[in-house]
Chains A and B, each alone.
Chain A
C-alpha cells in the first residue's frame, strides 16, 4: 500500500550464508517484481531451501540484505516482522499441516490468530479456500493423515492462501507427487497466481514445472546465481551444470 507498485516485491541482495564451516551462499542477488512466478533451481545441497528459510525469516543469513515489500526483514523488530509475515504465504515441502487438526481447522488457524472475524465468516472463507485449492468438501473434516500426498499439498496451499497473501514461497511443491498430480498442481498454482495476482518463488527440481508454469528461473550453483531469465534462455546457457541439468530431460524424452 505504501510502497510504489513498481518496486520489486522481493529483493535478495548479496546474501552470504555459512553453514557447517563452508560458504553455502557466497553472493546471491536477485529481485522479483510483482506478479512474476519464479523458479529457483540448483543441485541438492546448493541451499535453495536455506535461501527460502532466510526469505521467510526463519534463518538468519551471515551477510547481505533481504527486502520483502521494501523492508529489510532481518532488521525488523519481531512485531513488524510478523506483520510482514501476514503478507506472504509459505508452502512447506511436506505440507507441514498440523496433524491434530482437520483440514478445515488447519486452514482456519491463520484467520483465528490474525483476524477478529466471526465464526460464520471464517467458515465461509475456509470453505472458499478449500474449494479454490481444488479439494472436495468431504476433505474438510479429514485429518492430514487421512489424505493422499496431493491432497495434503492442496490443503497446505489452502492454508497458505487464506490470509490473501501477495507473495507465496513454495519449497518443492510437486515432490512426492505422481507426474499427473504434479502437472495438475502446477496448473492449479498457475491459475491461482494469475487470478489472485500472486508473486511466487518456487524451489523445485521438477523440470516439467519449470517448462510449464514458471515465468523465469534462477539457477544457484556453488553459492552464486549463475543464470537468471526465461526458461528457454537459461536452458541455452553455456554452463556445464546447466547443460547436464537440462540434458537429463532431453535424455528422458529421447
Chain B
C-alpha cells in the first residue's frame, strides 16, 4: 500500500499526473523508473494531483521537479492539487533551489590533467625543498654567529630520544646482523680451511657498510617518522604559527635542535653498531669456527685500519642531515586534515630510506679504495 505509483491521463486541457503511495527516498529507484516512462507534451499545462499520495519527502519532490523539467515542462505550467500545505512549501522550496543554475557538476579528470597536476605539484614541492634548505642554512648561519641562541634544553631532549632511546635497538640489530654475516661467511671460508679470514670479512663489512647503513635506516624509520609526526601535529594545532607570532623562528626552535641532535647521535650510534656487529661476529667465530676471542681480536688489530672505521662514521652525518631535512620538511608540509599527518609520515620514512641508500652509493663510488 505504500508502494509509489503514478497514473497519467492526457486531455486537450493538458496532462494530468496522479501520484499514489509513498514518494520518498526508500522507493526512489521505482519512482525514477516510473518517471522515465512518462511522456508529457511540453507545451501543455500539467496538473499534478496528490489525492492518493501517502508520503512525500524532498527526494520525491526532486524526482518530480527534475524529471518534469527534463521533459521540457516549464515549472510555471505545473499546477498542484490536493497537496497538504506542508508538502506545498516543500515543493516550492525544492523547485526554487533546484533552478536551472544547478547544472552537471561532476568533472572527470583526464589522464593528461592528472599528469599535469602531479608534475605541477612536484615542481612546487621541489621549489619548497629549496626554500626550506635556504631557511635552515640561514638559521645555521645565524646560530654560528650567535652560538648562545642554541636551544640547549630542546637539543638535550632530542639527543636523549634520538641517541639514548635508540641505543638498545641499534645494539640488538647490529649484533644480530654480525652473527648472521659471520655465520654465512664462516661457511664459505671453512671450505678452504681459512677460518681466520672471517675476521677480515666481518671487520670490513660491519665497519664500512653494515653498521652505518643499518643504523641510518633504523634512525630514518624511528626518528624521521617521529619528527614528521611531532611537527605535523604542531602544525595542525597551529602551534608552529604561534611560535612565529611570538617572534621566534620555527626553524631555529624546532628544526635545528633536531638536526644537530641527529647529526651528533648518528655517528656515535654507528660506532656502537660497529662494536656490537664485530662482537656478534666474534661470538660466532669462537663457537662455530674455532677462532678464539684472543685470536679474533689480535687479527682484528692487524686487519682493521682506523680509516675504515672513520669512513663508516664519516658517512653518518650525511645520512643524518638528509633524514632530518626530509623529516622536518615533511612535518612542515602537513595540512589540516585527518589523513595528512599519516601520509607525510609515510613519505618521510620512504624518502629517508631512499636518501640513505643513495647517499651510501655515492660514497661507495667516490671512495672505491679499501685501505689496508
Contacts and interface: CB of A to CB of B under 8 A. Distances in A.
Nearest to B106: A123
Nearest to B93: A195
A121 interface: yes
Given A123-B106, A196-B58, A164 B101 contact: no
Contacts of A132: 58, 93-94, 97
A123 B245 CA distance: 44
Contact of B28 (A117, A127, A197): A117
B337 A164 contact: no
Contacts of A194: 86, 89
A188 B25 CA distance: 22
A143 interface: yes
Contacts, number: 79
A145 interface: yes
Looking at chain A's contact residues, is the secondary structure mostly helix, strand, loop, or mixed?
helix
Contacts of A248: none
A164 B24 contact: yes
Contacts of A134: 97
Interface residues of B, number: 30
B63 to A, nearest CB: 8
A251 interface: no
Contacts of A197: 86, 90
Contacts of A115: 25, 28
Q: How large is the interface on A (under 10, 10 to 19, 20 to 34, 35 or more residues)?
A: 20 to 34
Contacts of B107: 141
A67 interface: no
A124 B94 CA distance: 12
26 contacts: A98-B338, A99-B336, A100-B337, A100-B338, A104-B105, A121-B29, A121-B32, A125-B62, A127-B98, A127-B105, A128-B97, A128-B102, A131-B97, A132-B93, A132-B97, A137-B101, A140-B105, A145-B335, A164-B25, A164-B57, A164-B58, A194-B89, A195-B90, A196-B57, A196-B90, A197-B86
Closest 7 CB pairs of A and B: A99-B337, A131-B97, A195-B89, A195-B90, A164-B57, A100-B339, A195-B93
